[in-house]
Amino acid sequence: MVMVSQCAYAHMLSSSLVCRSRWVSRSHDERGQAVTEYVLLLLGVAAVALTVTAWAAKTGKIGDLFDRVFNEITSRVA
């Protein structure tokens, strides 16, 4: 009976160590990290672009820019 419980304990211990080693190796795995960093970079750029666009729309700078560009083009054509 003691031998069986020792074998069961040894099996549980070895299973636990195998699971732990797999978890540790997965936690150090860097697959997908570059994609994650790229997505975070794109989100940051999008946030800045939206902020600038909202500011420009609020202050009327976009309309002024288009008016100046249109006036410049029409003055050069005429």
**pLDDT per residue rounded down to tens, the chain (78 residues):** 445 556 666 666 667 666 565 665 566 677 888 899 999 999 999 999 999 888 888 888 888 889 999 999 999 987
Residue 2: predicted pLDDT:
47
Same domain membership, residue 39 and residue 72: yes
Same domain membership, residue 43 and residue 21: no
Provide the domain count of the chain.
Answer: 2
Amino acid identity for residue 50 in this structure:
L
Residue 42: predicted pLDDT:
96
Burial (CB < 10 A; 0-12, 13-18, 19+), residue 56, is: middle
Same domain membership, residue 57 and residue 71: yes
Range of the domain at 24: 1-29
Same domain membership, residue 39 and residue 20: no
Same domain membership, residue 39 and residue 24: no
pTM of this structure: 0.46
Same domain membership, residue 46 and residue 69: yes
Same domain membership, residue 24 and residue 42: no
